């Protein structure tokens, strides 16, 4: 056990540093910011790495200037992963988190994660569950997740960065920075590299993050050509067959998610939402069939 882990186990109230990369996310960042600063766990350092926003982001940050836990740095960077890396290197905490500027933490997320790190000193990475948000900030569905398995991680990136925390030693001593040469799937590559190095992941089976889905998000703006290019990068680096990744990401996991969320809706007796989704699916099938005729 390294000295960092020994220290963290003995520390009753370790400092948690949370990084948010941001560029023109003024529409969402205040809710993200509020979700971090209103955690039940108080010993937090919150660093916002702003890429030079030209919207109302600065005005929102100014509203929270009096909170000593918050600091921000504004200037051009080389993209989201570069901003996160720089934030990690600035951080002083024993535990590091990364939440994007359009996502939110649940109220006791950090407290639950700290408890795991303290109780399990051999663990390097803790990740939890997350649910999907639409633009209005309402819950839509729980996203796929599972207990850690390296073989499963090679199939599908079920470990979302906004629901993941790591020991600071992975950055400051072992230099596990995100590779900016993988512009969109860099988090998947990052998790795979840490797993291949034998770092221990721990699955916290509780929802700790809301993952926002909106038209301007990076994943929504990816075209098929970019997706294929990024997947090829993952296959070359980690020796995974491209057809294998495509099968799991495009077919198996989406079907599993739909079934899981249908069960959730039935269990909660949300009959109106079930009917709405059935009508939406029927309409889509009808329109698709009409085009084929």
The whole-number pLDDT of residue 21 equals 94
Q: How many residues does the chain have?
A: 293
**Residue 9 scores a pLDDT above 70:** no
Question: Which single residue is written with the structure tokens 């350092």?
Answer: 45
Mean pLDDT of 114-123: 97
Q: Do 160 and 102 touch, CB atoms closer than 8 A?
A: no
Mean pLDDT of 144-169: 91
**Residue 170 scores a pLDDT above 90:** yes
**How far is it, in rounded angstroms, from Cα 151 to Cα 288?**
36
Distance of CA 208 to the CA centre of its chain: 10
SS3 content of the chain, % helix, strand, coil (to 5): 45, 20, 35
How many contiguous H segments (helices) and E segments (strands) does the chain have?
13, 9
The whole-number pLDDT of residue 1 equals 45
Count CB-CB contacts under 10 A for residue 188: 24
The whole-number pLDDT of residue 3 equals 47
The whole-number pLDDT of residue 161 equals 93
**How far is it, in rounded angstroms, from Cα 23 to Cα 244?**
34
The whole-number pLDDT of residue 111 equals 97
The whole-number pLDDT of residue 92 equals 97
SS3 label, residue 65: coil
Higher pLDDT, 48 or 25: 48
Over residues 218-240, the pLDDT tens digits come to: 555 566 777 777 788 888 888 88
156 confidence band (pLDDT: 50, 70, 90): confident
């Amino acid at each position: 056990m390294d000295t960092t882990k020994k220290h963290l186990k003995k520390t009753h109230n370790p400092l948690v540093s949370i990084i948010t990369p941001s560029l023109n996310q003024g529409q969402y960042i205040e809710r993200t910011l509020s979700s971090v600063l209103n955690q039940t766990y108080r010993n937090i350092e919150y660093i916002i790495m702003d890429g030079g926003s030209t919207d109302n982001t600065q005005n929102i940050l100014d509203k929270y200037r009096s909170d000593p836990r918050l600091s921000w740095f504004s200037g051009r960077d080389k993209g989201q992963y570069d901003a996160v890396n720089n934030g990690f290197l600035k951080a002083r905490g024993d535990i590091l988190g990364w939440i994007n500027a359009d996502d939110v933490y649940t109220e006791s997320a950090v407290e639950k994660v700290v408890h795991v790190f303290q109780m399990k000193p051999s663990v390097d990475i803790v990740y939890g569950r997350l649910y999907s948000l639409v633009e209005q900030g309402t819950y839509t569905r729980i996203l796929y997740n599972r207990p850690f398995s390296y073989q499963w991680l090679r199939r599908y990136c079920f470990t979302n960065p906004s629901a993941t925390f790591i020991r600071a030693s992975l950055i400051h001593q072992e230099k596990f920075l995100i590779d900016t040469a993988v512009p969109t799937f860099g988090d998947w590559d990052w998790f795979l590299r840490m797993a291949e190095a034998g770092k221990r992941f721990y699955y916290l089976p509780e929802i700790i993050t809301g993952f926002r889905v909106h038209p301007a998000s990076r994943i929504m703006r990816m075209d098929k050509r970019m997706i294929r290019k990024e997947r090829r990068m993952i296959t070359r680096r980690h020796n995974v067959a491209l057809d294998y990744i495509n099968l799991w990401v495009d077919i198996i996991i989406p079907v599993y998610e739909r079934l899981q969320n249908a069960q959730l809706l039935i269990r909660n007796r949300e009959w109106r939402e079930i009917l709405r989704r059935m009508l939406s699916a029927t309409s889509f099938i009808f329109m698709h069939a009409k085009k084929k005729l």
